Amino acid sequence: MTPKNESITQLLRELSAGDKQAFDALIPLVYDQLRKLASNCLRSERPGHTLPATALVHEAYVRLVDSEIAWEDRVHFYAVAARVMRRILVDHARASGRQKRGGGVERVQLDEALVPGHNAPEAVLELDDALGRLESQDARKARIVEMIFFGGMTYEETATALKLSSATVDRELRMAKAWLHRELTKSAYLTS
């Protein structure tokens, strides 16, 4: 573990022990990675989207600082940050006031559909609904999708966070993508 990663883990432990000032010291160390997570979440948003990466990071910061989470390590922190960013994007899509299931449904490839915010808030809501259904059937697969596609985590980081092997993460992700493809395709046909 690098000195920076050790510092992050130590600050997270201090934060878990109740030291709220540790979060202020933590942010400069994790900001760049949070910004990468946010950019990953927004990379295929439509031009002129009203939620830039900086705003997504700042909103995530506000939600994370107020949380009462017992932080394990930096991987756990980034996994939670990915989930928080997903919730923010879903909340933003819902607040946009657009109709959830629009008439002009666009067919997209699965990996494109798994990118948060693909062209319209409806896609974020569709993906969130499908992930919710997957989570009710298999929470681990849903967490893997969330960490890799929303969090931009590698297979190795995801495996570490979930205490799995990389091969298991790969296998579970392939099954989750197939399940989500079926759900998103079924949903697209139902609305057209």
Four-CA torsion 188, 43, 78, 139, nearest 10 degrees: 10
Give the pLDDT confidence of 134-190 residue by residue, as tens digits.
999 999 999 898 888 777 788 988 898 889 999 999 999 999 999 988 888 875 555
pLDDT score recorded for residue 104? 43
pLDDT score recorded for residue 72? 84
Q: Let me know how many helices (H) and strands (E) the chain has, helices first.
A: 9, 0
Q: What is the pTM of this model?
A: 0.64
Nearby residues of 116 by Cβ (< 8 Å), 6 or more positions away? 41, 42, 85, 86, 89, 124, 127, 149, 150
pLDDT score recorded for residue 99? 42
**H helices of 66-163, where?**
74-95, 110-113, 121-137, 139-145, 155-162
pLDDT score recorded for residue 85? 87
Tokens of 144: 């893997």
Q: What is the pLDDT along the chain (192 residues), one digit of tens a residue?
A: 677 878 888 998 888 888 878 888 988 998 888 888 888 777 655 555 667 888 888 888 888 877 888 888 888 888 888 888 888 888 887 777 554 444 444 444 445 545 544 445 677 778 888 888 999 999 999 989 888 877 778 898 889 888 999 999 999 999 999 998 888 887 555 554
> Are 105 and 64 within 8 A, CB to CB?
no
Residue boundaries of the structural domains of the chain: 3-191
Distance CA(154)–CA(163), nearest Å, equals 14
pLDDT score recorded for residue 175? 93
